[in-house]
Amino acid sequence: MTDPKELIEKAERFIKQQQDLYGKFSVPIPDAVEPEVSQEKKSEINTKSTGPQSSNIQHTKAEDQETVQTETEKPLSTQEKIVACQTLDELRRLCEQDPDLQTDLEDTNLVFGVGNPDADLMIVGEAPGYNEDQQGEPFVGEAGQLLDKIMGAINFNRNDIYIANILKHRPPNNRDPKPEEREKSLPYLLRQIELVDPKIILCVGRISATTLLDEDTSLSKLRGSFHTFHGRELMATYHPAALLRNPKWKRPTWEDVQKLRKRYDELGGR
Ligand code: URA
Ligand code: URA
């Protein structure tokens, strides 16, 4: 093995030569900033330094390199943080920390989602309105009361189901969610769906259905049959707020939810 002293002398000679040729220069020493390391990685590192290998002082090169790689790891991206959430509570906290989920209406509350975290039926609406923003809960206003009635008609109450929206914050004047707002919100909703793990998803309204199915078409084209969504069954029907404006949509909605209940029972929904 080369003598370290000899190596340093060689390097010094090399630098001196370079300086003679090109003039004086200095080599910047990187700031000794501690990189962000996730809790999980920290405990990994701790185990390493206190584990059985560490009593063996002679680390192998591979081991040292692995530690260096861990320490210089980049902070997690938003998508990685979302996927790392193992519970709805963790995901809710992540939503609270993401200003990108807010619309241009200031000082709104997070409306994350509510209901049975193990539900076999998940309902996805559009976006919180005034009442939902005030209470931090989806579908608590007039449309929500109608939704409860529709669900009651097929023998579901709020404890049986889980309810969320495409957007987690209220848009100003209840305008339609913008494509970029939906795009930012969607990864959170997809993780929320995975964590609840429902057998069936019911989209209420065109915005919800077209966002999840990624098809820009009318609700009347999407409703009435089951679609496949990430390996789950998805049905779309009219939004309860639309029924309040247009009672003629009540009958098709009634037919849709009857089918929904039948399919839920067939799939062994609890
Ligand atoms: N409309 C929705 O789409 N979602 C709500 O939470 C309330 C009204
Ligand atoms: N248009 C919508 O956006 N939603 C409905 O439920 C019906 C028509």
- Residue-wise pLDDT for 230-255, tens only, equals 999 999 999 999 999 999 999 999 99
Written as six digits, the tokens of 202 are: 């019911």
Please check whether residues 111 and 172 belong to one and the same domain. Answer: yes
Collect the ranges in the chain with pLDDT lower than 70: 1-2, 13-71
Q: Is the minimum distance from the CB of 239 to ligand 2 under 6 angstroms?
A: yes
Pick the last residue of a domain from 72, 87, 121: 72
Pick the last residue of a domain from 24, 57, 72: 72
Please check whether residues 44 and 132 belong to one and the same domain. Answer: no
Written as six digits, the tokens of 57 are: 């002082």
| Closest ligand to residue 249's CA | 2
**Does residue 118 fall inside a structural domain?**
yes
**Does residue 14 fall inside a structural domain?**
no
Cα–Cα dist 91/108, whole Å: 18
Q: Which domain CATH number covers 197?
A: 3.40.470.10
Q: Is the minimum distance from the CB of 241 to ligand 2 under 6 angstroms?
A: no
Please check whether residues 167 and 258 belong to one and the same domain. Answer: yes
**Does residue 96 fall inside a structural domain?**
no
For 105, residues 6+ apart whose C-beta sits below 8 A from its C-beta are 169, 170, 171, 172
**Does residue 218 fall inside a structural domain?**
yes
Q: Is 198 left (phi over 0), alpha (psi -120 to 50) or beta?
A: beta
Please check whether residues 128 and 58 belong to one and the same domain. Answer: no
**Overall pTM > 0.85:** no
**Does residue 6 fall inside a structural domain?**
no
Taking only the tens place, the pLDDT of each residue in 90-102 is 999 999 999 999 9
- Domains: count for the chain: 2
**Does residue 156 fall inside a structural domain?**
yes
Written as six digits, the tokens of 245 are: 């404006």
Pick the last residue of a domain from 72, 96, 130: 72
Q: What percent of the chain has pLDDT over 90?
A: 71
Q: Which residues form the domain of 233?
A: 105-266
Q: Is the minimum distance from the CB of 205 to ligand 2 under 6 angstroms?
A: yes
**Does residue 247 fall inside a structural domain?**
yes
